[in-house]
Amino acid sequence: MKNTTKFLCFILILSLPVFAFSQSNYQSALKKLNDYFKTFDAGYYGYFEVKDGYLYDQFASGKYTKTPMNQLGDITVAEANRKVTISCVSGDCTYSTYTNSYHSLLQFSQSKDFNTGELITLFKNFINAYNSTTTASNTNLNTGYQSPLKKLNDYLKTFDNGYYGYFEVKEGYLYGRFPSGKYTKTPLAKLGSATVAETKRKVTIPCKDNEECVFSTYTDSYHSMLSFSQSTDFNTTELINLLDNFVNAYNGNSSSTSQSGANSARLEREKESPKPITETEPVKVDRSKYLKSLNALNLYLKTFNPETYGEVEIILDKVYFNFKVSGPYYSYIPISDLLQKTTVLTMPDEIKISCNGSSKCFYSSYAKSNTDHFRFFSLTVKDLTKMRQLVDDFINALR
């Protein structure tokens, strides 16, 4: 019995140290980094902590930044003896509560000279130690999700003629690989339960806590959900079950709960939620048809009212109108609705794309509800003839 006990202890010792020692190394490197920041710029940057694969910089003011650890890229001197930056591996990966928006890097500076090499070394040691922890712990990751993932990918082979490509999992992220070469990237821990967004036509998976956790290379920005739709009716329950079974399997949640019961609960929640935009048959337009007119519109917006308007974009089967009101927002409308359910009006001081009748065919992230128009106005340009022509040309190119 004693020999058996010793053998079991030996096995436990062999199986645990790689992670335990790596964890200790990462915590030690993090402590050295935080000790450095106690005096750097009079403590302005507060301290760092790691939660669920994200690096949080908890500022002394109470604000914070949040960055996926696996998105931390090059650490460089941005200004000799004064500023160090850490660039995102791709896109805008750093969320800041100072601006309530995403940025492409972390930066650290102060008004007097400092040893930039020392700070860079502290960050590199911390990131390398953390990555070693991740590598060690990945050897024990749950692989029970592979079967439901295969079933989901098999389903997507024919869904909407294979438009959505396939999914793969890397280091806790779900990648949606489109045949076009574009992709989405989402932390699996942030995905909620799949829901019916439009009867027999559309299913979505929202991010938990309404967070924008889905990065898309179609837009080079973050979104609050994954969505799946096609122009013909399909069994939404089947797709919901496939998605939930996969996510639950990956996250280690029990999937024994009755799916019909879960779907009933979703329907009850949806009764209390604002109705989504009712779309006509989704339209996906050849990019070559509208690209010239879209580029012309976006180029003009840079001088028409750059303080208010970002770019107009087409993502999948929708047109997104980006704008700024103390932060980035957007309104979107399905292409089919833009073509069939709106009228462009020239008003005294604005060009207005108005929904026909009393319908609310736009969704606004600012209002967090459906709206009945989108408008273009300028405080400097009084003659709206060119703006009207560019809007008309763009819409007509979508036909």
Kindly state whether residue 375 falls inside one of the protein's structural domains.
yes
180 and 103 belong to one structural domain: no
Per-residue model confidence (pLDDT) at position 134: 59
91 and 205 belong to one structural domain: no
Best CA proximity match to 202, nearest among 275, 287, 286, 285: 275
242 and 346 belong to one structural domain: no
111 and 165 belong to one structural domain: no
Kindly state whether residue 280 falls inside one of the protein's structural domains.
no
User: Residues 98-114: what's their mean pLDDT?
Assistant: 87
User: Which of 159-173, 243-257, 278-292 bottoms out in mean pLDDT, i.e. has the lowest?
Assistant: 278-292
72 and 153 belong to one structural domain: no
Q: What share of the chain is helix, strand, coil (3-state, %, to 5)?
A: 40, 30, 30
114 and 77 belong to one structural domain: yes
**Where does a domain end: 272, 303, 331?**
272
Per-residue model confidence (pLDDT) at position 296: 93
294 and 268 belong to one structural domain: no
Token couple for 270: 């949806």
Please provide the average confidence, as pLDDT, over all residues in the chain: 81
pLDDT of 230 over the 60 cut: yes
User: Which of 18-32, 196-210, 332-346 bottoms out in mean pLDDT, i.e. has the lowest?
Assistant: 18-32
Per-residue model confidence (pLDDT) at position 30: 93
Kindly state whether residue 211 falls inside one of the protein's structural domains.
yes
7 and 115 belong to one structural domain: yes
**Residues spanned by the domain of 375:** 287-397
What is d(CA 148, CA 242) in angstroms, rounded to the nearest whole number?
A: 7
Kindly state whether residue 32 falls inside one of the protein's structural domains.
yes
Contacts of 147 (CB under 8 A, 6+ apart): 249
What is d(CA 222, CA 322) in angstroms, rounded to the nearest whole number?
A: 13
Q: How far is CA 256 from CA 152, 191, 208, 237, 261, in A?
A: 18, 19, 21, 16, 11
Report residue 265's pLDDT band, with 50, 70 and 90 as the boundaries. very low
Kindly state whether residue 281 falls inside one of the protein's structural domains.
no
Token couple for 181: 């070469």
What is d(CA 293, CA 313) in angstroms, rounded to the nearest whole number?
A: 12
More confident of the two residues 285 and 110: 110
244 and 349 belong to one structural domain: no
Number of domains the chain contains: 3
Contacts of 60 (CB under 8 A, 6+ apart): 43, 44, 45, 46
Report residue 389's pLDDT band, with 50, 70 and 90 as the boundaries. very high
Per-residue model confidence (pLDDT) at position 279: 39
**Where does a domain end: 242, 272, 302?**
272
**Where does a domain end: 138, 155, 173?**
138
169 and 260 belong to one structural domain: yes
221 and 112 belong to one structural domain: no
What is d(CA 41, CA 337) in angstroms, rounded to the nearest whole number?
A: 53
Kindly state whether residue 194 falls inside one of the protein's structural domains.
yes
Per-residue model confidence (pLDDT) at position 262: 39
Helices (H), 252-323: 259-272, 287-304
Q: In this structure, what CATH number is given to the domain that contains residue 55?
A: 2.30.29
User: Which of 32-36, 220-224, 386-390 bottoms out in mean pLDDT, i.e. has the lowest?
Assistant: 220-224
User: Residues 133-139: what's their mean pLDDT?
Assistant: 52
240 and 300 belong to one structural domain: no
Kindly state whether residue 279 falls inside one of the protein's structural domains.
no
Kindly state whether residue 298 falls inside one of the protein's structural domains.
yes
